[in-house]
Amino acid sequence: MMHNIDERQQALLLNEKSIKKRKISTGIQYTLAILVTIFMLFPLYWMLISSVKSQEEILRALPTFWPHEWHFENYKNVLQRANFSKYYYNTVVMTAGILISQVVTGVLAAYGFSKGKFKAQKFLFLLVLGALMIPLQVTFIPLYIMFANWKLTDTFLGLILPEMVSPYFIFMMRQAFLTVDDSYIEAAKLDGMGRLGIITKVLVPMCKSTLITITLVTFTNGWNSYFWPKIIAKNEVRRVLTVGLVHLRNTFAGLDTMNNHEIMAGAVLSILPVIILFFIFQKYMLTGYEKTAMK
Amino acid sequence: MKKMLLLTAALLLVTGLVFAAGASETKTASTAPAISYEVTEPITIEWWHALEQQYWPLVDEIVGEFNATNPLITVEAKYIGNYATVNENLVAAHAAGSGLPALTVANTPYVAEYGKGGLTEDLTPYIKATGYDIDDFGEGMIAATSYEGKQVTLPFLISTQVIYYNKTMADKEGITIPSQITDMDAFMKKASKLNSDGTTDRWAIIIPGWDQWYFEPMYLNSGVKIVNDDRVSTDLAGPISADLTKKFQNWVSQGYTYWASGTSASSNMRQNFVDQKTFSVIHTSSLYNLYKGLIGDKFELGMAWLPAGKTKISEIGGSVLLIPAKNDQKTKNAAWVFLQYLIGKDVNMKWADGTGYIPTRNSVLSSEEGAQFLQRKPAFKAIFDNLDEINPRIQHAGWNQLATIWKSYLDQIMIEGADVDTNLGMMADEINEVLADSE
Amino acid sequence: MKQRIPIQRRIRAGKDFATVLPALLFLGLFVYYPVVQVVRISFTNWNLINDNYSYVGLKNWVWLFQGSGTKYLINSFKVTALFTLGELSITIIGGMIFAVILNRITTSFSVMRALIFLPKYIAMSSAAVVFIWILNTQNGILNFLLAQFGKAPVNWLGDKNRALFSILMLTGWRTVGYGMMIYIAAMRGISKNYYEAASIDGATKWQQFTQITIPILSPTTLFLFVTTFISAMKVFQSVDVMTAGGPYRSTEVIVYMIYKYAMEDFRMDRASTIAVVFFLVLLAITAATMKISNKRVNYDA
């Protein structure tokens, strides 16, 4: 009896102790997590805050953590005088072009490589995978010369062409299509569906989440692309946001702290669509990379 | 059927490719007789410039006036970036044969490279056909803008290397900018202020390392042949160059001066000057108005000629105007009209007044107008006294590459304290290679 | 009747083939064909400013391996290797630490995780200009904060010993959340039984972490290692915007070196030669990592 009570008391005590301990560790975890989040968000906060300050305020020796006056005209200046509205248009068209062509070619090829049957299929798929190992950073010189000969510098076609097919897209979609059982396809065929019908009405709906995820990745990669646009579209007529932002930084050459308020406004403008998408499609965008990780 | 179609399309693409590749290697020579240089129908042309935001109101004013008085021609001014960026974009557009501006500025050392590469239109026939008077430009200006006797460019905004110094400080402490490189040791000691721990409280002078143009005159005046007469080698590893380089290195290591290099070098240097943390800086005369504005009434701004050696020359900086050769004749004709306007005396004086660029015309420099100009900008006396000493840049198709290599080695020598003789030797090997490749 | 089957099958195969043809054509034209070209150009003296070029044999190769280009190639590989090492450490170690801190199933934590992951989607150019501003020597907020602790202003981007570190700050900011997400996804997959058994055996939390979590996560770590390695090797944009390879080549990664020769000096010949070398190195690394991960998979199985 005695023994029993003793044990129970002990257990109770232990429990209290561990609850206390757990509470402390939870508290520590919360504090750390919040600190980490603040730390990670600070650059974005600083960008946003700087973008609405006046030139005078941004150059003060004592930085202000909250703007004294709100200067939204920084945005107007950047859109109009620094031509960001033009860059916006260019970026939208370029990204749309890349997106549409990658989805079309990607879904088609993914079908062929997963559900189709033809000669040298394995070898050709290896060729697609092999392309993953040849980055633009290796091939841009001949591509640039080729495009210059074709008069494609400073054109939308020049911006889009090298990005029209993504081996990564094909690979991911093929993986998804492979998980769809062939019986669905046989059934669709019996219903008299052709290839396009099977792709659009059976396979794509069944692999919707993968498609959305990869499409979002394609979108952000296109929107944020810099290397190729910098090379092929130097001129203002087809300059995209990423390149335009760096250009804006140079308009005060040798005076590079003078217009940081406008540069920050430009930076906010150029990431805005992606941030909005991120919050709308959070579910997909957070899992996007995990999915690739699971492969 | 689908497959066939696709295959055909593929074949077409591939053949197109082969032709495209083939076409690039053959050069088409056009010899059209009796060209008309008249502008007969409305045309819109693009002008590339490298004038930063602070100049945009002036650019707008000048272009606006031209557009208002020339009903047939509409000019669109485009800021491209600094001179290096303009060069990158221009050469790229030239290689593509598309996206070329009707008219563009170019930094003075590119004249030979462009002339040799066939990028620029020879302006001589235009000058003849329209009877344009270029004799009002000094000989040096004409030499600096032509290549192998052809007038491939014309002078636009011209500046030269100068020393800006704190005149208030100079008067108070009795410091003068030395006229000879040999006197610089004494100057360095006197004008700088070192802390007891060896750090620098005030520099004597800051030397821009980000562009070799700023220190070039000291090498040239000491007698260094940056490009030898054989055109394929450099004397930059020779004894005179090594001595001068060692002098610079010593001044840097003593803390008298610092070698401004890197992305923010220019603004850091300027800030140090405005904050009176340096007695003087080497910079371009074109920034005179900017310095004046930044300093306000903190102190008085002085301008001096760079210390001399055997000679006391300086070099033409700033930009020239050129018409890309691959444009069609109509565009070229319109560009020629606009070019004449831009280099005209009135427009030139607007720049000279609004910035620190030097008036380009003899008729201004040596006349009552020049005296009036000096009254408005007395500091420019240092330049007006030495007008005959302003020389053309060294012209070599490999110059740009040479400059990059030179700067990068001097950076290592000055900032890292790398050994002068070994590094200059390696540098000369590299430079000789690119000179030979480009000649 | 018997003969029609193969024909039908052939038509079917043809149609199937047609679905992959556009992709193959583009890859052929814009990926494989340029590889051949870049090798060809490496044997010429192509300067973009001239209309013509000729073949010069091994001249560029000699320049790169036994000439004045050699030390720059070595320098670039060294810088790239350092950068890669840095990005790997931040993604893997930082990602692991963040994962441990943020691995909790509540709404507030999932919001925080999303916010930490967000930088991955911020365009590098925007992020870079913000970091340039934060790191500004005179007006930057970082130097201001350091000054509160009595530190003298630091020249983050202009000092050759710090520039690469500063670029890594930006890179780390963008990738650490990615490492975290991958690790958390993997941690969720670890069965609770392991930990319960271990705690009965009296293992401390730290022991549980080092002896259970880390070993079980090793395939995830390998995955992160491989993907980060390859992408870090190709770094360009952050360097281009923040330092342009400087000060004096201290941040000149290999892609920047290629870019500089090609698009600033217009030496297509020299740039192509470096590009070919870079390609071969990438291939070798890819092959090596594939071999390692294959071994790994077999071992685990």
CATH classification of the domain holding B155: 3.40.190.10
Q: Which residues of B touch A234 (CB under 8 A)?
A: 88-89, 92-93
Residue of C nearest to B399 (CA): C265
All structural domains of chain C with their residue ranges:
69-300
Radius of gyration in angstroms for the set of CA atoms belonging to chain C, rounded to a whole number: 25
Q: Which chains touch B (3 or more CB pairs under 8 A)?
A: A, C
Residue B419 shares a structural domain with residue B300 = yes
* Contact with chain B for residue A6, Cβ under 8 A: no
What pLDDT is stored for residue A10 in this prediction?
Answer: 66
What pLDDT is stored for residue C130 in this prediction?
Answer: 93
Residue B288 shares a structural domain with residue B263 = yes
Cα gap B381→B373, rounded to integer Å: 10
φ, ψ of residue C39 to 5 degrees: the values are -65, -45
Q: Which residues of B touch C29 (CB under 8 A)?
A: 13-14, 17
> ipTM of the predicted structure?
0.89
* pTM, 2 dp: 0.85
Query: Min CA distance, C118 vs chain B (Å)?
Result: 29
* Contact with chain C for residue B201, Cβ under 8 A: no
Using CA atoms, how far residue B223 sits from B186, B315, B399, in Å, is: 22, 15, 19
**Alpha helices in C90-139, H assignment, sequence order:** 95-102, 107-117, 124-135
Q: List the single range of A5-19, A100-114, C42-56, C62-76 with lowest mean pLDDT.
A: A5-19
CA A182 and chain centroid, separation: 33
pLDDT at residue A251 greater than cutoff 50: yes
Residue of A nearest to B269 (CA): A254
What pLDDT is stored for residue B7 in this prediction?
Answer: 46
Token pair for B413: 């020598």
What pLDDT is stored for residue C190 in this prediction?
Answer: 83
Other beta carbons within 10 Å of B90: 26
Cα gap A286→A119, rounded to integer Å: 38
Cα gap A165→A104, rounded to integer Å: 9
Mean pLDDT of A173-178: 90
Question: Which residues, in sequence order, are CB contacts of A241 under 8 Å at separation 6+?
Answer: A84, A87, A88, A90, A91, A223, A266, A269, A270, C123, C125
CA-wise closest residue to B411 among C248, C250, C76:
C248
- Residue B10 located in a structural domain: no
- Residue B337 located in a structural domain: yes
| Nearest by CB: A142 against C37, C120, C234 | C37
SS3 content of chain C, % helix, strand, coil (to 5): 75, 0, 25
pLDDT at residue A286 greater than cutoff 80: no
Q: How many separate domains does chain B show?
A: 2
Instruction: State whether CATH 1.10.1130.10 applies to domain A77-294.
Output: no
* In B225-304, beta strands by DSSP E: 257-260, 278-284, 301-304
Give A227 or C194, the one with higher predicted confidence: A227
Residue B282 shares a structural domain with residue B423 = yes
Q: What angle do CA B438, C236, A250 make, to 5 degrees?
A: 75
Secondary structure letter of residue C262 according to DSSP: I
Q: Are residues A108 and C282, on separate chains, in Cβ contact within 8 Å? A: no
All structural domains of chain A with their residue ranges:
2-50, 77-294
| Nearest by CB: A235 against B20, B52, B89 | B89
Question: Which residues, in sequence order, are CB contacts of B244 under 8 Å at separation 6+?
Answer: B181, B218, B219, B222, B224
Residue B261 shares a structural domain with residue B397 = yes
| Nearest by CB: B53 against A235, A251, A257 | A251
Confidence of residue A3 (pLDDT cuts 50, 70, 90): low
- Residue B25 located in a structural domain: no
Confidence of residue A226 (pLDDT cuts 50, 70, 90): very high
Contact assessment for residue B188 and residue B247, using Cβ atoms and an 8 Å cutoff = no
What pLDDT is stored for residue A295 in this prediction?
Answer: 40
Question: Which residues, in sequence order, are CB contacts of B391 under 8 Å at separation 6+?
Answer: B140, B144, B313, B314, B315, B316
For chain B, give the percent of residues with pLDDT over 70.
92
Q: Are residues C101 and A37, on separate chains, in Cβ contact within 8 Å? A: no
φ, ψ of residue C149 to 5 degrees: the values are -100, 15
pLDDT at residue A292 greater than cutoff 70: no
Strands B390-391 and B314-322: parallel
Q: Are residues C25 and B10, on separate chains, in Cβ contact within 8 Å? A: yes
Cα gap C211→C201, rounded to integer Å: 13
Instruction: State whether CATH 1.10.3720.10 applies to domain C69-300.
Output: yes
Q: Which residues of A touch B264 (CB under 8 A)?
A: 256-257
Q: What angle do CA C154, C158, C159 make, to 5 degrees?
A: 70
- Residue B135 located in a structural domain: yes
Q: Which chains touch C (3 or more CB pairs under 8 A)?
A: A, B
Question: Which residues, in sequence order, are CB contacts of B312 under 8 Å at separation 6+?
Answer: B179, B221, B305, B306, B386, B389
Q: Are residues A234 and B88, on separate chains, in Cβ contact within 8 Å? A: yes
Other beta carbons within 10 Å of A53: 24
Residue of B nearest to A234 (CA): B89
pLDDT 10s digits, B174-196: 999 998 999 999 999 999 999 88
φ, ψ of residue A154 to 5 degrees: the values are 60, 35
Cα gap B435→B36, rounded to integer Å: 39
**Mutation site for A-interface testing, chosen from B2, B17, B51, B52 by largest number of A Cβ within 10 Å:** B52
Token pair for A219: 């979108």
Q: Which residues of B touch C27 (CB under 8 A)?
A: none
* Contact with chain C for residue B70, Cβ under 8 A: no
Cα gap C285→C254, rounded to integer Å: 15
pLDDT 10s digits, B298-320: 999 999 999 998 998 888 888 89
**Mutation site for B-interface testing, chosen from A255, A257, A259, A260 by largest number of B Cβ within 10 Å:** A255
Q: Which residues of A touch C13 (CB under 8 A)?
A: 116-119
Radius of gyration in angstroms for the set of CA atoms belonging to chain A, rounded to a whole number: 27
Confidence of residue B166 (pLDDT cuts 50, 70, 90): very high
Q: Are residues A153 and B81, on separate chains, in Cβ contact within 8 Å? A: no
* Amino acid (1-letter code) at residue B231: R
Radius of gyration in angstroms for the set of CA atoms belonging to chain B, rounded to a whole number: 24
Query: Min CA distance, A137 vs chain C (Å)?
Result: 6
Q: Which residues of A touch B92 (CB under 8 A)?
A: 148, 153, 234
Low-confidence ranges of chain C (pLDDT < 70): 1-5, 295-301
Q: Which is it for the CA torsion B356, B362, B365, B369, positive or negative?
A: negative
Mean pLDDT of A78-91: 88
Q: Which residues of C touch A229 (CB under 8 A)?
A: none
Strands B43-49 and B73-79: parallel
Quick one: three-class SS letters along C56-70?
Answer: CCCHHHHHHHHCCCH
* Contact with chain A for residue B15, Cβ under 8 A: no
Residue B298 shares a structural domain with residue B399 = yes
Q: Are residues A63 and C116, on separate chains, in Cβ contact within 8 Å? A: no
Q: Are residues A46 and C24, on separate chains, in Cβ contact within 8 Å? A: no
Residue B198 shares a structural domain with residue B321 = no
pLDDT at residue B4 greater than cutoff 50: no
pLDDT at residue B14 greater than cutoff 80: no
Residue B245 shares a structural domain with residue B303 = yes
Q: Which residues of C touch A282 (CB under 8 A)?
A: 114
What pLDDT is stored for residue B17 in this prediction?
Answer: 45
Q: Are residues C68 and B426, on separate chains, in Cβ contact within 8 Å? A: yes
Contact assessment for residue B153 and residue B297, using Cβ atoms and an 8 Å cutoff = no
pLDDT at residue B168 greater than cutoff 70: yes
Whose structure tokens read 């195969």? C13
Peptide bond connecting C247 to the previous residue in cis, omega within 30 degrees of 0:
yes
Ramachandran assignment for B306, one of left (phi > 0), alpha (psi -120 to 50 degrees), beta (any other)? beta
Mean pLDDT of B192-205: 89
Question: Which residues, in sequence order, are CB contacts of B187 under 8 Å at separation 6+?
Answer: B175, B176, B177, B178, B204
What pLDDT is stored for residue A12 in this prediction?
Answer: 66
Using CA atoms, how far residue B331 sits from A149, B152, B338, in Å, is: 21, 16, 11
Residue of A nearest to B57 (CA): A81
Ramachandran assignment for B308, one of left (phi > 0), alpha (psi -120 to 50 degrees), beta (any other)? beta
Q: Which residues of A touch B97 (CB under 8 A)?
A: 148, 151
DSSP per residue, C181-199:
HHHHHHHHTS-HHHHHHHH
pLDDT at residue B216 greater than cutoff 60: yes
Q: Which residues of B touch C72 (CB under 8 A)?
A: none
CA-wise closest residue to B400 among C267, C205, C98:
C267
What pLDDT is stored for residue A5 in this prediction?
Answer: 58
Contact assessment for residue B334 and residue B102, using Cβ atoms and an 8 Å cutoff = yes
Q: List the single range of B18-22, B157-161, B398-402, C197-201 with lowest mean pLDDT.
A: B18-22
pLDDT 10s digits, B236-266: 999 999 999 999 999 999 999 989 887 678 8
Q: Are residues C130 and A241, on separate chains, in Cβ contact within 8 Å? A: no
Q: Which residues of C touch B27 (CB under 8 A)?
A: 51-52
Q: Are residues A149 and B24, on separate chains, in Cβ contact within 8 Å? A: yes
What pLDDT is stored for residue A293 in this prediction?
Answer: 44
Residue B421 lies in domain: 160-315+391-438
